[in-house]
Amino acid sequence: MAASADTIYVTSRSELLSALNAATGGETIVLADGAYGDLEITGRNYSSEITLVSENPQGAHFGKIEIRNSSNIRVDSVHVDNPSNGVASSKVVSIDGTSHDVTFANSEVNGSVSATTDYNEFQGHYGIYTGGDVHDIRIENNYVHDVKNGFVALGSDDIEVVGNRFDRLGNDTMKFAGVNGVLIEDNIGPSLNFPSPTAHVDFIQFQGSSQNIEIRGNVYLAGNISTTQAIFMADGSYNNVLIEQNIVYTGMIHGITLYSGSNVTIRDNTVLNMPGGPHKATVITSPDGATVTGNIISTTGYDGKISGGNLYVQHAQPDRPNHYDDFFGDGTAGLGITIEDLAILPGTIAENYGALERLTELLGGDVLPTPDPDPTPDPDPTPDPDPTPDPDPTPDPDPTPDPDPTPDPDPTPDPDPEMFDVVDGAAFSMTGTRDISGAQDVIEVAPDADLNLASGTIALTFEADSVSGRMGLVTRDASYYAGGGHHFAAYVEDGILKFRFQDGSQDQVFEIPGIVAGQAYDLMVTF
């Protein structure tokens, strides 16, 4: 065993146990590739975090790991490869007792792996478990597979389950009971699930009253079965709950279900029903007084509509309004659907609802599929009739649209050059941040033929110090209809985000209320 300062290299189980016994806090124990057997860390409370990490990703193998009554431990980039299918409630990775400040990250966890699809082979292990009186636990960026339940937390406080991927499970993906303070974020559910015939399968299930819960950015897309309930919170009361930016696609009616609780917000989720599944709709159910807004929610028949700040969509009647095909690349794909199938069609109202932020992230920054050539690609009736969308003919009838664009063009008419970076595929881009201190503090961009676009997307991030009064964000504008009109403006006025679109004779204003000071917002508008 070699040692240097706070880094200790080990090549065997005995060396690892010696290093753990000798550590006091702050050490990094680097594990050479190889098998280290079962690891139990009991009663070890280090003064600061020690790290166990594989020298090569998942190169160090364990049969199981149990951390009990211990603290300040990080296990990183190992493979916990249990050779058995386990028995009821057995654990492959367990953090139990009075343990706290423990992180398990970047690792692979599984029971016996084979090509079988027999549900009997998936009825034993919990993949990762926390229980007892544990707190301040983070489970991050792991791949958990070939177990009954992916993650289970019983009676745990301040738990973070972030960025994990689950597959080949026998029952629920994540289960929580009696927790206080939990973040469930950016986890991906199984594409393959092999439940018993009587199983009641959930993606995220809560049982037993809990509080202070955030469920954000998680994705469940029906793979080989259509009978998984997505986010199901029953058998208790749930207080201080935020559920946002989740994407679920299943054949069950319970998309997001929370029967009892207070201070509940369910916003900006995409909740879709699979055609041909057990139920005709997948819905959001919430207690009285909950805030439910900004969601895309499936509905039965052809009852597509906008209601209560939510967009309701249907897959039963293609010739009726708000059918899946009006909004998604292939929303009726059914079992095996991919995130690419849910890409939003350009120019549709679906861009204003649902888990757009999470969808954008998953699609690498682009939520729009290849544009459909059917909708007229150039909305201006008078440009060159050649359908090739060439910006050179300057379709805008007014080549100098802003004769007097701002009250005072003197302040910083040409911002710092380093703020203007070329973003591939953008007609204009500006990176970095800028503080705008008042009406005279503006960034002015001179007219440019490259900005004579028949269609495009304007995207930016903003944060307001105050939302009282009016604050401009971006505008292609002049006074009223000066210069022939055809202007655009985005601004915040008394806590309401407003978009004003204008042609040559009339305006259309869209409003999004609830903008608060000190919170960052991403704005994207397609025209």
The pLDDT-based confidence of 477 (bands split at 50, 70, 90) is low
d(CA 220, CA 269): 12
Mean pLDDT of the chain, nearest integer: 84
Q: Is the sign of the CA dihedral 323, 295, 252, 85 positive or negative?
A: positive
Helices (H), 345-433: 356-362
What pLDDT is attached to residue 432? 57
- pLDDT above 90 coverage of the chain, percent: 64
Residue 17 neighbours by CB distance under 10 Å: 16
At 386, the amino acid letter reads: D
Return the biggest CA–CA distance within the chain.
81
What pLDDT is attached to residue 371? 39
d(CA 410, CA 60): 63
Q: If you ran DSSP here, which 8-state letter would residue 32 be given?
A: P
Average pLDDT of the segment spanning 20-42:
98
The number of residues in the chain equals: 527
Tokens representing 8 are 């200790």
The pLDDT-based confidence of 382 (bands split at 50, 70, 90) is very low
What pLDDT is attached to residue 441? 62
Nearest to 436 by CA among 501, 498, 492, 364: 492
Give Cβ neighbours of residue 136 (< 8 Å, ≥ 6 apart). 100, 101, 102, 157, 158
- pLDDT above 70 coverage of the chain, percent: 80
pLDDT (tens digit, 9 = 90+) per residue, 386-439?
Answer: 444 444 434 444 433 343 333 333 333 333 333 334 444 566 776 556 677 655
Sheet holding 60-62, edge to edge: 34-35, 60-62, 79-81, 108-110, 143-147, 165-169
Start-to-end Cα distance in the chain: 64
Is 438 exposed, middle or buried, given 0-12, 13-18 or 19+ CB atoms closer than 10 A? exposed
pLDDT(458) > 90: no
d(CA 397, CA 122): 67
What pLDDT is attached to residue 473? 79
d(CA 107, CA 144): 8
Give Cβ neighbours of residue 83 (< 8 Å, ≥ 6 apart). 63, 112
Top pLDDT among 472 and 222 is at 222
Average pLDDT of the segment spanning 471-495:
71
Nearest to 499 by CA among 464, 459, 455, 468: 459
Top pLDDT among 388 and 129 is at 129
Tokens representing 88 are 């009821």
What pLDDT is attached to residue 424? 42
The pLDDT-based confidence of 366 (bands split at 50, 70, 90) is low
What pLDDT is attached to residue 137? 98
d(CA 435, CA 274): 46
What pLDDT is attached to residue 404? 39
pTM, to two decimals:
0.70
pLDDT (tens digit, 9 = 90+) per residue, 251-288?
Answer: 999 999 999 999 999 999 999 999 999 999 999 999 99
At 260, the amino acid letter reads: S
Q: What is the dihedral of CA 221, 226, 232, 234, to 10 degrees?
A: -170
d(CA 290, CA 510): 24
Q: If you ran DSSP here, which 8-state letter would residue 302 be given?
A: T
User: 258 forms bridges with which residues in the sheet?
Assistant: 233
Average pLDDT of the segment spanning 22-44:
98
Could you please report the per-residue DSSP string of 462-504? E--S--SSEEEEEEE--STTGGG---EEEEEETTEEEEEEE-S
pLDDT (tens digit, 9 = 90+) per residue, 50-80?
Answer: 999 999 999 999 999 999 999 999 999 999 9
| Phi, psi angle pair for 325, to nearest 5° | -65, -15
Is 19 exposed, middle or buried, given 0-12, 13-18 or 19+ CB atoms closer than 10 A? buried
The pLDDT-based confidence of 337 (bands split at 50, 70, 90) is very high
Nearest to 94 by CA among 47, 124, 132: 132
- Across 309-318, 374-383, 490-499, the highest mean pLDDT is recorded for 309-318
